[in-house]
Amino acid sequence: MQNENTTDRSSWREIRLGKEKFQEIVKLLVEFDERSGRHSYAPLKECHFMRKAIALAEPEGLRILVRSYPGFLYYVAAELSNDQGMVTTCWVHEDGIKSERGDHESEPDHPVHGILCLTDLFDQNEPIGEDEHRTLGELMQEYMERAELCKERESPKV
């Protein structure tokens, strides 16, 4: 069942429901990058290890914000805080599972319909309010502003 807020896809959502599932998705992607060797030729190798830290973190020390972009793209900003310090990172996530569901729409028994994806998690969570927005750290605010600028550049001018 979809949340009634899914019509407002432009809002930021904090992933609270399904945070562990989000971590499983990120962990699978990190493991794929490691098995394929893709992480070794990324322009910023540190980003791979930051996502790995996000995937392996204790969920209570993790804050995940997501913003929908056109198509199957999401901007993700994540902050991990624990006794050792803080890691804050961001990336663009392409939801390949949601894309594949569209390709197999006429096949309701296809396995892709049973796989949880970022779009599902986005739809299950509420937009963040102004109070929550004010409690974000400086770096998270910067990442969110950067995402807003990117979205503005990509939006057609009317």
**Ramachandran region, residue 61 (left: φ > 0; alpha: ψ -120 to 50; beta: rest):** alpha
Strand ranges, E, within 39-149: 62-68, 73-82, 85-94
Residue 4 has pLDDT above 50, yes or no: no
Q: Could you tell me which of 41, 72, 36, 76 has the C-alpha nearest to residue 55?
A: 76
- Say how far apart CA 128 and CA 153 lie, in whole Å: 23
Report the pLDDT value the prediction gives residue 76, as an integer from 0 to 100: 94
Structure tokens at 45: 């190798």
Helix, strand, coil fractions of the chain, as percent rounded to 5:
50, 20, 30
State the pLDDT at residue 158.
43
- The whole-number pLDDT of residue 74 equals 94
Distance from C-alpha of 8 to C-alpha of 104, rounded to nearest angstrom? 25
Taking CA 43 as the corner, what is the angle to CA 84 and CA 136, rounded to the nearest 5 degrees?
40
pTM: 0.82
Q: State the amino acid at position 133 in one-letter form.
A: H
- pLDDT one-digit tens code per residue, 28-83: 999 988 888 777 666 777 888 899 999 999 999 999 999 998 889 999 999 999 99
